[in-house]
Structures are given as structure tokens and as C-alpha cells.
Amino acid sequence: MTRLYLASGSPRRRELLTQIGIPFTPLPAAIDETPLPGELPRVYVERLAREKAQAGLALLVAQPEACVLGADTAVIVDGRILGKPVDQADGLAMLAALSGREHEVLTAVALVNVQRCETRLVSSRVIFRTINAAEAQAYWASGEPCDKAGGYAIQGLAAIFVSELHGSYSAVVGLPLSETADLAGRFGIPCWQCPSEIHP
């Protein structure tokens, strides 16, 4: 059976893959995530997912049968990509920008082997209720937003800010499961394998 590698250090993506019963081997692959000049958010997210997967595949030259999955998630507000906060001021500014309004979450997933690369892009809309200054300060103090795109985690403490979600919950967390399952199947990797496991 085809062996899958996950080119990500994200514990959330590991949990999601495990949830649908796809065994995999973690293979974090570092790339430059700086947006290119004038690059549209959708193009940026798909490019990063593809580059992560390809960077992982480059580490597996001795395993020509391997498949590598890469993914990337970005929070978009007013056409601007919100990455991970650089400091407290940046994190609080992100929460202020998201407070009381709708934003878009784009998640791309790419699956590659030596023969081909396929990608899927998922757009979800998230609406936050108004976040007051004390809540924003307390949320930042929790430490949760520090390493999250857009400065929040929908699956964590920030769930209380979400008044509406239109689209894929798992994509907002970091990996669109329906699309990932479809891609995996196209590469001969079935879901619901039992037992589900992470290879060391």
C-alpha cells in the first residue's frame, strides 16, 4: 500500500488525518512562506501547500513510491492575508480587525508523488461576534493565538467568538477532510484504515 507522508509539523493536521483513519509519517518541510509581490491570497495558499508537499518529496528520493501531503491555511480580511502574529500588538490588532464581522479562511491541500501533483482549495466564511478589549487581552494571555494564522484557533478558546460558520469546519482548523479524502483516494490511499496510526 502507498505510504503517505505529512509535510507539516502541525498537531492539528496530524489529529485530523488520524481522525479519518489514514496512517502517515510526519515529515515537516520548511519553506519560505513570504507572499510574492501582488500575489492573490488564493494563489498564495495553493502555492504554499504545493511547495510544502514538493519539499517533503525532495527528502524522499530513495522512496519513489511515496506520496506527500502538504497544506496551508490563511485568514483573509479586506483582501489582506493575516499570518501568525509577530507580537502581542499584532495579535490584538488581528482580533480587532476580525471583531464583529465576516472573514474568509482559505485552506489548500496538495498531494504529490514522482508522477503528479494535485491540489484542492477550500474557502470558508467565518463571522465573529464583537470582541471587547478585555476579552482580546485575556485571549492573547492564554498563549493560544501566538502560532495561529489570523491569531485564533476555532477549535480552541476562540470558539466562543464564532457566531456563524459557512463552509468546512475542518478546513478552518487546517485540513479539509472531504477534499483530503478524495485526493488520497485518487492516489490509492483509502480512508478508515484500521487501526489508524501515526508511523514513527
3-class state of residue 22 by DSSP: coil
Tell me the residue ranges of DSSP E strands in 38-129.
Answer: 67-77, 80-82, 102-112, 117-128
Phi/psi for 152 (5° steps) reads: -155, 160
What CA–CA distance (Å, rounded) separates 69 from 60? 13
The DSSP secondary-structure symbol of 36 reads: P
Residues labelled catalytic: 72
Q: Measured between alpha carbons, how far is residue 110 from residues 21, 49, 96, 116, 170 in Å?
A: 18, 6, 32, 10, 16
What CA–CA distance (Å, rounded) separates 6 from 55? 11
